[in-house]
Structure 1
Amino acid sequence: MNLFQLRAFDAVAREGSFTRAAARLFISQPAVTGHIKALEEHYQITLLRRTARRVELTEEGTRLAAITRAMFSLADEAQVMLEANRQLLTGRLEVAADGPHRVMPMLASLRARYPGVTVNLRLGNAQETLAALLSEHADVAVMTEVEPRKGLYLQALSASRICALVPVAHPWAQLSQGIRLKDLDQVIMVLREPHSITRRTFDDACVQAKVNPRVLLELDSREAVTEAVAADLGVGVVSSVEVSHDPRVTAVPILGEGLVNRHMIGCVERRRDLRLIQAFFELAPA
């Protein structure tokens, strides 16, 4: 079945004229005539009656016109939808992130610039976020400390620093210049689970500096760490981009080697040229 022939027939049926059909399709009138002639000859059917003044549909032509009108109306609707998506008037973006603090400002910028785009955000730990991206359950991901690999496109964001989280009444709360990593030796601490990127970075730095904090409580969320610190159960650690605005606690920079985390946006390499993914990357802060 030749869709060009069907499109020409549909245009004539809609316009009632070969001339107007040609103008509708931006082709010549002989081309329209040739398409319809070929269609009728191939299927041994008469679809149109041609007179000197008008074009009329036969019974078979009327039945076919009902089909082609529905078919090409759907095609036109698809084109409108695709064009709107290309211009980012509509669309859906699946985003994964290993924390809310980096991604939320980017989503706010996306909403301001492209209000018709719908976003589905999934938050998880570092492993879950990377897995969602590599399995293409997410279009883009905001991640921490991801190593380059084949098939993965990464764009760097600004780095963050590991801070100590202490109650506001703690003596360190006034040390805005920071504390030394060795000051945490034998200090009672409440930390995230070992799989947390922040925890892993902190542990590695402690090993390198031969610092041995006393980890008496491990928790599965940043919020839980904040509550534990506020209850004076120990000193916590937090990334500088994840500092809570809770008035009960304050974050103090930890000075030492290996206490910086790298953050990045990623997508599957072969999908990086998709317009909606490009738009998200363009919104990344310098």
Structure 2
Amino acid sequence: MNLFQLRAFDAVAREGSFTRAAERLFISQPAVTGHVKALEEHYQITLLRRTARRVELTEEGTRLAAITRAMFGLAEEAQVMLEANRQLLSGRLEVAADGPHRVMPILAKLRERYPGISVNLRLGNAQDTLAALLGEHVDVAVLTETEPRKGLYLQPLCQSRLCVLLPVGHRWAVSQQALPLSALEQQVMVLREPSSVTRRTFDKACAVAGIQPQVLLELGSREAVNEAVAAELGIGVVSSTELSHDPRLVALCLTGEGLVNQHWVGCLERRRELRLIQAFMALAGT
């Protein structure tokens, strides 16, 4: 089956004219005539009656026109969809992040600039977020302290600093603007699980400085750390970009070495040129 012949027939059926069909297809009128004639001869069928005034469909032509109209109508719908995606009028972006605080401003910019784009957001820890990106379950990811590797494109996003989280009535909360890491020696603390990037950064800084806090609780979420600190079970540690506005809590920046984290926006190198990914990366950089 020759699709060029079918498209020529479909154009004539829609326009009722070989001349207008040629204009529709941006080819010459003899080319349209030749395609339709070849179709009729190949299948030994009469599809069109040519009169002095117009072109009319035969019964077989009417039946075929119903089929070709559906065929090429779907092709036109596909073209409209693809063009809309190319112009970022529509589309879907799969995003992963190791926390909501850094990704939400980017998504807000994306929504404002490209309101037709829908987003599916996965939130998880640093390992899960990187695994989702490398496994091609998402298009882009917001990552923390990720090592460069082959096939992975990383764009710097921002830096954050570790802060201590205190209940509002704590003596340090009312007397200091910042706190040296050394002050946490033998302090009772409630911290994230050891696989958390925040926890790993804190543990490494303490080890280098020779500081040994007393870890009372290890918790699986930032929200749990907030609640434990509010209940005065111990001192917490949080990233400066993840501070929440909770009247029960006060955050003080920690001073010392090794307390800064680098955050990135990443995608697979081979998918870096896709328009949706380019748009996300560009907005993350503004």
Query: How high is the TM-score relative to the length of structure 2?
Result: 0.96
SS in 2 for 1:106: helix
Q: Does 1:71 align with 2:64?
A: no
Aligned pairs for 1:20-31 within 5 A:
20-31=20-31
Distance in 2, matches of 1:198 and 1:55, equals 75
Mean Cα deviation higher: 128-137 or 197-206: 128-137
Corresponding residue for 1:93?
Answer: 93
Corresponding residue for 1:158?
Answer: 158
SS in 2 for 1:283: helix
Distance in 2, matches of 1:88 and 1:176, equals 49
Mean Cα deviation higher: 167-176 or 55-64: 167-176
Distance in 2, matches of 1:177 and 1:73, equals 67
Distance in 2, matches of 1:100 and 1:176, equals 29
Corresponding residue for 2:223?
Answer: 223
Deviation of 1:46 after TM superposition, in Å, equals 2.4
Aligned pairs for 1:126-205 within 5 A:
126-174=126-174, 177-205=177-205
Contact 1:175-1:252 within 8 A present in 2 as well:
no
Deviation of 1:60 after TM superposition, in Å, equals 2.0
Corresponding residue for 1:281?
Answer: 281
- Cα deviation, 1:197-246, whole Å, max 9, x if unaligned, reads 00011001111111111101111110111111111111110000001110
Given residue 133 of structure 1, which amino acid in structure 2 is its aligned partner? L
Distance in 2, matches of 1:192 and 1:285, equals 29
SS in 2 for 1:33: helix
Mean Cα deviation higher: 12-21 or 107-116: 107-116
**What is the percent sequence identity of the aligned residues?**
78
Q: Does 1:252 align with 2:252?
A: yes
SS in 2 for 1:73: helix
Given residue 265 of structure 1, which amino acid in structure 2 is its aligned partner? V
Contact 1:95-1:141 within 8 A present in 2 as well:
yes
Q: Does 1:11 align with 2:8?
A: no
Distance in 2, matches of 1:31 and 1:135, equals 49
SS in 2 for 1:263: strand
Given residue 53 of structure 2, which amino acid in structure 1 is its aligned partner? R
Distance in 2, matches of 1:208 and 1:134, equals 32
Deviation of 1:59 after TM superposition, in Å, equals 2.3
Query: How high is the TM-score relative to the length of structure 1?
Result: 0.96
Mean Cα deviation higher: 82-91 or 4-13: 82-91
Given residue 119 of structure 2, which amino acid in structure 1 is its aligned partner? V
SS in 2 for 1:234: coil
- Cα deviation, 1:136-157, whole Å, max 9, x if unaligned, reads 2111111111111111111111
Distance in 2, matches of 1:31 and 1:152, equals 50
Mean Cα deviation higher: 95-104 or 144-153: 144-153
Given residue 123 of structure 2, which amino acid in structure 1 is its aligned partner? L
SS in 1 for 2:246: coil
Given residue 167 of structure 2, which amino acid in structure 1 is its aligned partner? P
Deviation of 1:41 after TM superposition, in Å, equals 2.7
Distance in 1, matches of 2:118 and 2:79, equals 19
Go from structure 1 to structure 2 and tell me whether the alpha carbon gap of 1:145 and 1:175 turns closer, same or farther (over 3 Å shift).
Answer: farther
Aligned pairs for 1:262-277 within 5 A:
262-277=262-277
Given residue 234 of structure 2, which amino acid in structure 1 is its aligned partner? G
SS in 2 for 1:157: strand
Deviation of 1:176 after TM superposition, in Å, equals 5.1
Given residue 35 of structure 1, which amino acid in structure 2 is its aligned partner? H
Aligned pairs for 1:44-123 within 5 A:
44-123=44-123
Distance in 2, matches of 1:42 and 1:264, equals 61
Distance in 1, matches of 2:145 and 2:40, equals 65
Gaps of 5+ in 2: none
Mean Cα deviation higher: 44-53 or 160-169: 44-53
Given residue 100 of structure 2, which amino acid in structure 1 is its aligned partner? P
Contact 1:176-1:253 within 8 A present in 2 as well:
no
SS in 2 for 1:172: coil
- Cα deviation, 1:111-136, whole Å, max 9, x if unaligned, reads 11111111111111111111111122
Q: CA RMSD in A?
A: 1.3
